[in-house]
Structure 1
Amino acid sequence: MNTNEFALTLLSGIKDFLTWIGVPRHMLDKLDEILFLVLIVVIAFLFAAVVHAVSVHFARKILKRKNAGVLDTLVKYGVFRKLTAVIPPLIVSALLPFAFSKDSAWFIVGDKVTWIYFFIALIVSVNAILNTVGDALKNNRQLKNRPMKGFIQIFQVVFTCVAVIVIVSILINKSPFNLITGLGAFTAVLMLVFKDTILGLVAGVMISEDDMLRIGDWIEMPQNGINGIVTDISLDVVKVQNFDNTIVTVPPYSLVSGSFVNWRGMSESGGRRIMREYTLKLDYIKPCTPEFLERMKDFDTELAQFIIEKQKQAADGKTVNTDNPAGLVNGTIDTNLGLLRAYMTLYLRRHPSVSRELLLMVRTLAPTGNGLPVQIYCFSANKNWPSYESIQAEIMEHFVSVLPAFELYPFQSADARDAIVSGLIESGKIDLSAISGIPWHTLRPEKDKSGSGPV
């Protein structure tokens, strides 16, 4: 028995059943084609339902035995259900010639509807598969921080556009290639309507190709109020969570057309830079006397070793360490400022949170009207923001606290209170212990010549 005979036998059985339940036979003879169409559709959807049930059953059995991430994602996005939706139109299209002649209006309409349904189901299925691929790529260690979502959306847009063109060509009974050629007249309109999408497509390719941005990067873009972590990169938008927990969204092409700071290099390096300075008063910088050097040997053990080494070099007629032309550390014993630079370099080198692999120096900058800036340049080994700020504050606080020991003082603009305190001290008519806020390093334990008090 061939397929046509089987279909006719099945149709005859259905008509006998409908006659048995009371439907007039003459009505059924007029509805042969409609009955056969209904039969085809029912069989097609029943077959798809069986395939879906079987595939989901086996997928869940596999998931119970082992953790298969891809299968779990397929179930999450309902890929099995969406894929089996492609089956009915294929079955209906194959069986339509048995129900209608190819010249029949029912055949032409049914064939068009069937293929339109097929391409719609195909769009939904392919999008679900691409979403599954996108989730799988996010879990890949090498690709999880790359803007893969943008690429997935590009494929989705391209495939959807092609499928829509095919659907329209089916409706108007024209070749898809002729339709694409005719779209040239609407290029300007399409460019206007899909401007952001097209620009986002180009920008997404550039961002990924040049590795300009990844999810998790800390970026700064002051012109757009951005200073935070990238949380999402898609075809038409980049989401950034600022450090005040606000969410800023910008189109990808604004990152390509403008400029932004990406702190990824700092995050991947061995440390985070510390670059701060204090401006010291010029008139307190002076040569080191032998007595001053002897006193400073008691200030710090490593500094004492530095002074002894430098004195030995000077006695041997060497101006630098021959084994290391750069010297032992930054600094000299010629001036109290040079000695301070040497001490701060030693302090930074033994600081547990300062990187020893990256550049470290204490240097002077160009003099200003306020004095001579002394800058600390080093890298914190801990790149966490709160820890970095704590380390930086600790170093700068220590810097300013040891200045009086080297008989150096930072520049600070005087205010009205400073003028009043200065006048009271100059008058000599008030007990200094009654004045609060006098710098501790301005008081000496010895008495002045009159014995009236500390100076």
Structure 2
Amino acid sequence: MVENFKDLVFKYLLKLGMSEQVAAYINLILLLAVLLFVAALLDFMIWKILRGFSVRLARQTKTNFDNYLVAHKVPRFLARVIPLMMLVEFVPLIFSDFPFWESFMQKLLRVSVVILTLIIVKSIFRSINDHIKTLPRFKDKPVDSYVQVFIIFAWLLGILTIFAIVTETTVWAYFTALGAASAVILLIFKDSILGFVASIQVSINDMVRIGDWITFQKYGADGDVTEITLATVKVQNFDKTITTIPTYALISDSFKNWRGMETSGGRRIKRSLAICQKSIRFLTEEDLKVLRKIQLIEPYIEQREKQIAEFNKKHQFNREIPINGRNMTNFGVFREYTTQYLKNHPGVNQKMTLMVRQLSPTPQGIPLEIYAFSSDKRWANYENVMSDIFDHLLAAIPYFDLKIFEYPTTFIASPNPEQEVVSK
């Protein structure tokens, strides 16, 4: 039909008195314009039909996968398949009298088919990626990495096909050449290959999930994982900045994942008070009489007094000097008070480890370390619980005649009375 129409227009132009060459060019332009108009009209009509169908389908179905297909314009790209196939079929016939342009247009249209196929494949994979992310069991998995791998392979195959079309050779010839240049390819795609392998290991070993709080000191990252792709991991720090980490660094370097804390029953409190060594002493009867008024340690003092009295009497120690025999110290009683206070604190998880321990003496005093777990794992609430505990202990220390270690300071009067110079 196209041949008949082509000859009809060409003969009509010759009857108008045009030369064969001019008539051939005008005939070509007219036929090409008509064909492009028909292709554009067909594309518009198919798009209207597909859009109406896809919208109705998206409203009726329960899944949101079709919504992502529409969002990534998959129906729009599919609407261009039939018009493009029509151009592939009929354009070479129009250019049959021009061998050079016929070959050029054939290659151009075949390349267009490959590009349109790649765009459709890319849009479908992105739709699948967005849909899978909405599923609960895949929400925290590095799905982006696998989708990117498929897209990379699709584009690699597409580019090789385009080169094969342009050079009029086979795709297998390029694969053979790629095999010979494998060392160069590995060097070029080193990060992508390492990232792909790292993504698989991260997923299989469940090392990191999207939403995990990680601390990666090497890269200055301390926040929540927002995205895991083939090459990078994005971490939104608590100051709202974004840190990008190479994916393969998750398996090659050491980092801290706080997921274990978040899934456990509490968040650890590990902080110490530096007690001045000179303030530690034995307790006298008068001291114990006063400390018995503290309800949390009253049973402890009575029990310890009884045990110590029996022990000292049994061994007949000379009690004129306190160092003889066993005695209670203000530090030891304060340690017991701290333990009882934590056991009665509503913000401390009583089912997890709770310990108050004395560490080795240092030039900065004797550390009294609190090791416990806050029931509330939320950051702000956790800080409030920890601050409440230490506020109370700092205020309670003077009742036990203890002092917190502080570096000595000397105030030196300055020539200007409104200013003071503080030196250590």
Interval containing the TM-score (normalised by the shorter chain): 0.7 to 0.9
The Cα shift of 1:122 comes to 0.8
Displacement of 1:118: 1.2
Q: Could you give the per-residue CA deviations for residues 190-222 of structure 1, whole angstroms, max 9, x where no partner exists?
A: 334333333333333333333333333322222
Bigger Cα displacement from structure 2, 77-86 vs 43-52: 43-52
Which residue identity does 1:61 align to in structure 2? R
Deviates more, 1:206-215 or 1:376-385: 206-215
Hey, what does 1:272 align to over in structure 2? 267
Give 1:409's aligned residue.
Answer: 403
Q: Deviations over 1:105-124 (max 9, x none)?
A: 77655543333211100111
> Which of the residues 124, 129, 137 maps onto 1:129?
124
Return the letter of the residue paired with 1:54.
Answer: I
- Offset, 1:246: 2.8
Secondary structure of 2:53's counterpart equals helix
**SS class of match (1:142):** helix
Q: Bigger shift: 259-268 or 271-280?
A: 259-268
Larger mean Cα displacement after TM superposition, 43-52 or 262-271? 43-52
SS in 2 for 1:174: coil
List alignment gaps of at least 5 residues for structure 1: 1-6, 318-331, 421-455
Q: Equivalent residue for 1:84?
A: 79
Q: Is the CA contact 2:232–2:244 (under 8 Å) kept in the aligned structure 1?
A: yes
Q: CA RMSD in A?
A: 3.9
Q: For residues 27-69 of structure 1, give each alpha carbon's deviation from its aligned partner in whole angstroms, at most 9, with x where no partner exists.
A: 7996889877776665555444333211211222344567753
> How far apart in 2 are the matches of 1:79 and 1:40?
25
* Per-residue deviation, 1:415: 1.8
Q: Name the residue aligned to 1:399.
A: 393
Letter of the 1:356 partner, please give it.
Q
Q: How far apart are 1:161 and its partner, in Å?
A: 0.4
The Cα shift of 1:275 comes to 0.6
Instruction: Please tell me the residue identity of whatever aligns with 1:349.
Output: K
C-alpha distance in structure 1 between counterparts of 2:236 and 2:242, whole Å: 5
Match of 1:378 among 372, 381, 387: 372
Query: How many Å apart are 1:239 and its aligned residue?
Result: 2.5
Bigger shift: residues 333-342 or 89-98? 89-98
The SS at the match of 1:240 is strand
Q: Percent identity?
A: 33
Q: Which moved more, 1:23-32 or 1:214-223?
A: 23-32
Instruction: Indicate the residue corresponding to 1:361 in structure 2.
Output: 355
Match of 2:253 among 249, 258, 279: 258
TM-score (norm 2): 0.78
Unaligned runs of 5+ in 2: 312-325, 414-424
The question of whether the paired residues in 2 share the 8 Å contact of 1:355 and 1:381 is answered with: yes
**Could you tell me how far 1:393 is from its partner in structure 2?**
1.5
The question of whether the paired residues in 2 share the 8 Å contact of 1:93 and 1:111 is answered with yes
Aligned positions of 1:179-218 closer than 5 A: 179-218=174-213
Are residues 413 and 112 of structure 1, via their aligned partners in 2, closer, same or farther at CA, if it must alter by over 3 Å? same
- Distance (Å, rounded) in 2 between the aligned partners of 1:14 and 1:209: 66
1:23-422 → structure 2 map (5 Å cutoff): 46-63=41-58, 69-93=64-88, 109-288=104-283, 292-300=287-295, 302-308=296-302, 334-417=328-411
Cα separation, partners in 2 of 1:36 and 1:313, compared to 1, 3 Å: farther
Return 63-72 or 23-32, whichever deviates more: 23-32
d(CA) in 1 for partners of 2:259, 2:232? 20
Contact 1:83–1:122 (8 Å) recurs in 2: no
* Residues 10 and 23 in structure 2, CA contact (< 8 A), matched pair in contact too: no
Q: Tell whether the 8 Å contact from 2:10 to 2:24 is kept in structure 1 after alignment.
A: no
Q: Aligned partners of 2:102, 2:327: CA distance in 1, in Å? A: 102
SS in 1 for 2:157: helix
Q: After TM superposition, give the deviation of residue 396 of structure 1 in Å.
A: 1.2
Task: Report how many aligned residue pairs link the two structures.
Answer: 395
